[in-house]
Structure formats: structure tokens, C-alpha cells
Structure 1
């Protein structure tokens, strides 16, 4: 199976074949819960953010925990949320994570897709395959797996759960990935650190900016298929 994906300015195709989803169960969603400040003082020289983009990433004051505006001027514009052609080859209603290019697509009717910039798993924690979004949660509690606590003893205090809030490791929304009836321990979730978008930084989870995960959450129903592609592609 071959799935073509978009990279600006060229189009890419992902290598045929997806690795076994058995790799999904090897690690959990990892972060210490800390985030960089959402406030920035100066824009990079020459970068002008259009008003419609500033609006998309503006504050969300009506949330249970009010979300500040994202410093979107610090992020490469390629990772700003945008509607694009559906180049994934997947049917409408599918979440597709292009790990090579650090994009997540939500496929829509009439050959269109909503594309988001994401952060993905760092070396040794990558995963790929087919699964589904079993359920989703607003302002979830984060409970790290014991294996993660062994790697990061400083999160022992969250063994029984980190309460919801802006500093919660999962952010304001989380989509829970299952393969069959088994929880993979991987999530699609929020993270307010713009420097993590476009990078391989987590222990396997897929991270979106808070405003993007809120938007995605409203689009994706429970049971939606998710395809996570291997971190290799060919032009």
C-alpha cells in the first residue's frame, strides 16, 4: 500500500507498507507536563501573521481553564492550520499522521482535508500503523504508565493522575488510540509549546497546539480510524 502525502512545495509519497500495530503498545504518551510560556515579546524579522491566522490561534476565554493566545509568529507557517487537498489516499473521516513531514490530516468530503502541524515521538519511541480513536476527553486527567515513571522519577507524583489544567500533560483535549479492544497508551493531545511542533520530541504521542486540538476534537467522532505513517518518505 502506498499513500501520497503533501510537502510544501513538493508532493511526497510514503513508502509502501505499514509496520505492525503491535509496536503501538511499547510506550506511553510522555511529557513532564511543563510548557514554555505562551507569551512572546518579539516577532521574527519579516514574519507577518495574517489576521485570520491570529484569529484561529487567539485566546479561548470560555474554556474551563482559559487558554491564552498561541505565539503563532514563532511557528513556521507551514504548520499553521489550513484546509488543503486530501493527498493521503484515505477516505473522508480518517485521521492521518504524516510523521515524515510532521502533519496531521483530518480527511473531509470532496477531496479536501484539514491539516495541522504536529510534534511526534522522538527516536526510540516512534510508532506507526492503523488503529482507531476509541474515545476522546475534554480537559483529561493524565496518568503516566509505570514504565514512564521509571524513566522519569520526577513524575512519580502523578502516578494516580495529574489533574486537568493548562499544565496537564495532555492539555485541553485528548483522543485515545486503541487497536482492537486494547488501549495503545498513545494519544493525540494538546501542547502549548510551539517549539515542539514540527519536531520529534515526545514518547510517541502526537501533539498539537491547544487551539488546534480543540478544533480537531470537534471534528473527530468516536470510532474514527487513524493511520500513522512510518517516518520515511520518498519524493
Structure 2
């Protein structure tokens, strides 16, 4: 990743799926940072774009740069505090779709493997039963595919899975799928060269987020279809 050049998608500039006085919810494209990076050339992000139009907006959770899908920002301090507490208490609900390099041997399951940063190989994360933080993911297969080349010859078996993370560790879904022996297609950190080449970007999408609305206390749910087929 040392030769990484940040070139985030420019269109659409912002894909707003919901907005009211307290929150704004967007569909983040793959390749755009959630928040600005340390370097000036990494300033472009979903947060900085939103703040150009809504200066009071603050981030309450993040998606990896390569992950697409539902991301929510608060428009007031009260909303930010209310929603942040929900994430801390794990009272939100969310699920993701992912296309895998290979097919898991079971149709569903749970992965309970603690994670920490792989410091010599940052930003990679790793399983560590001593120093890792608890991480739990429920998963189930929703479809299976065969990836073919230009001659229509199958060169890779694949499965599309529904992922429900209970915790929110960095790279949790990516490392947990790697632990199954089926990394996510297009994952330049964890997939094989063949798995990276089989997709134009990481095939991981935050498809649904449900929170208690900070003003009404009623549950409100946001969904966005993935940019890849799940059939």
C-alpha cells in the first residue's frame, strides 16, 4: 500500500438518502474516506464534504475507505451525544453484504475472534487471543456464484454473505472473513492476488443501519442497495 494514490470518486459528490434537523444519512461510495486523513492530499472525505454544506455536522461512526454504504452524521451536539451513546452501548442494528473469494464450508455461523492492529503491517489487523479486543460477527450465505473469465471459463467460486457485526472493531468483517478462509473480493490487504483482480474495489457494503432517532426516540432504519449483485 506504500504506492497508494488517493483518488476518491467525485460523482455524486454527496448521495444523501435522509436528512432532518438532527441527522443526515448518506450512501458513501467505495474509495472515499469517512474522515480526513493526516496528509493534506487526504483531506477529501464524506465528513469534510458534508461539513461544506452543514458546518455543524459531526461524524458518529466510520466506514473503511474501501467500504461503501450507509453512514450517518449528527447535525447537533445533542444528536451526536445521543447516537454516539447508542453505538457505545451496541443498541444500534446493522448489516452488511459481502462477496467472498471462495465459499465457506457451512451455510452460516458466528465468528468470535479478538482483534488488534498488526503494528508492523499497519493498517492490517490480526487475531490475537492475548491482547486483542473482543469481536463477534454473525454471518450467513445468501447466494453462490461462479466468476468466469472472458472465455466464460470458471476460475473462482464465490459466495455472497449477509454479515451482522455485534462489535465494531477496525477491519472486523474483513479479518473475520479471512479467518473463514474466504477473504472479501477486491480486498487489497487480505485477499489473494486473484481475489483482488476479481473485483474493481472491495466488495463490502453497509446495507442497513437502524438507530433510535435522537429527537423522537423511535427506531428509524436506513437501507441502501449494494453496488454489486447479491443474487
TM-score (norm 1): 0.26
Bigger proportion of residues as strand = 2
Higher gyration radius (CA): 2
- What TM-score results when the alignment is normalised by the length of structure 2? 0.26
Q: Flag the structure with more relative contact order, 1 or 2, with Cα contacts below 8 A and sequence separation at least 6.
A: 1
